[in-house]
Copies of this chain bind each other. A is one copy, B any other.
Amino acid sequence: MTELEKGPTGRRRGRGARERILGAAQQLFREQGINRTGMDQLCAAAEVSKRTAYQHFTGKDELVAEYLRRFDPSVLSGVFDRTDLTPRERLLAAFDIPATTPLCPYIGAAVELHDPLHPASQYARDYKKAVAARLADAAREAGAADPEQLGEQLALLLDGAAARTRVLNADAFPTAAAIAAVLIDSAIPAGDDRRPAEASS
């Protein structure tokens, strides 16, 4: 019980230096990038002494990895769990999130770190594959002829939209959504888009 969740107190501040560090990381990494954000600045933003930060994380690498790991659920959930949509609508809904979600940091991380062996790069790959798999699941539900292929294609569209948005500084997701619509229509036998209720019963 040497962990920080030991007692009700919280020692000094509102409890959880980790949380503040990760919060600051999330903000700064996204605003400035990973490489351009120093630990000094990060700790200042988190109102945490550098000494403390290095007691919670063995190094910046671990922090980056954890930062990416935490991002996982925020994007996936809320899109694939909407049972009120038909599978087809759910596939398309994946292209509506970017406005709310800042922008997939995995591409940036992979580019910035530039080391495929970095744990964060591993997380990035896992995440990408997870998204593709989820899309493939939805595609299967929607009755696609080749769900894996459609999932991979839609995942590529998401990445393309993210990258293009970043480079051009203009939202490219509508374009991606338009492509997605074409792909879905051409991959799913006509009219085979059942409501979840009808499908499950």
Q: How large is the interface on A (under 10, 10 to 19, 20 to 34, 35 or more residues)?
A: 35 or more
Measured between C-beta atoms, what is the minimum distance from A119 to chain B in Å? 14
- Of A55-63, A82-90, A108-116, A191-199, the one touching chain B: A108-116
Determine which of B155, B166, B183 lies in contact with A107 in the assembled complex, contact meaning CB atoms within 8 Å.
Answer: B166
Which of B112, B164, B166, B179 contacts A183 (CB under 8 A)?
Answer: B179
Neighbour of A111 across the interface among B112, B129, B155, B175, CB < 8 A: B112
Flag the segment in A8-16, A17-25, A29-37 that touches B: A29-37
Q: Does A172 contact B (CB under 8 A)?
A: yes
A31 to B119: give the CA distance in the assembly, Å.
19
Whether the Cβ atoms of A125 and B168 lie closer than 8 Å is: yes
The complex places the Cα of A152 from the Cα of B177 at a distance, in Å, of 12
A156 touches B157 (CB 8 A): yes
Residue from the set A153, A167, A178 with the largest chain B CB neighbour count within 10 Å: A167
Asked whether A99 is an interface residue with its Cβ less than 8 Å from the other chain, the reply is no
Whether B160 and A110, one on each chain, are in contact in the complex, defined by CB atoms closer than 8 angstroms, is no
9 contacts between A and B (CB under 8 A): A32-B114, A107-B167, A108-B111, A111-B111, A149-B175, A156-B176, A158-B160, A159-B164, A162-B163
Q: A107-B111, A107-B163, A179-B179 are in contact. List 13 more A-B contacts (CB 8 A).
A: A32-B114, A108-B111, A112-B112, A121-B167, A128-B164, A153-B179, A156-B172, A156-B175, A159-B159, A159-B160, A160-B161, A160-B163, A179-B183
